[in-house]
Structure 1
């Protein structure tokens, strides 16, 4: 289980515990956190679960696969270093303390 901090665009923080094996997107969905829409349900077929990963976490996450890179092209104001799709981040104990911030909007 990992404690993850989700920060809305307006700065409101939500700190929740997410079970291992779920995605960071599922953790947001299951805890009713606004700002992550997840229209495709986690299939990496949209960009509506886009977040900016806190700079301290960028190098600690698994590399982006090609499909995630492609979908991030459709995200709202993607950042080449910090943008990730939360459906592609599986929760493990190593993600305890992860901080992600939602963009102004999801497209």
Structure 2
């Protein structure tokens, strides 16, 4: 055990480097923004629905557009403000990820499962 720890420590595994800190401190919205800048046409989400046989593939740009539209709905039509709680009663679906990121982008707290 001590040998494994020493080997990991020698490789830098026990230290928090600046790169690691920056990666951890980035929000999901930051990661989406970076992916959008790097390659907006790249596939980001592929969803398979076993019940219906549905397959949906969304590019970074399409997913970011869904997030932006949902965030606008939250702020404009539902008057969600930073710190507000939003109950999300959604199944395991790609749209659930959109709602989670939209809540985060407006500063609302997503309450998954009620």
Query: What band does the TM-score fall into relative to the shorter chain?
Result: under 0.3
Give the TM-score of the pair, scaled to structure 1: 0.26
The structure showing larger relative contact order (alpha-carbon pairs under 8 Å, at least 6 residues apart) is: 1
Normalized per residue, which structure has more helix? 2
Whose Rg is larger? 2
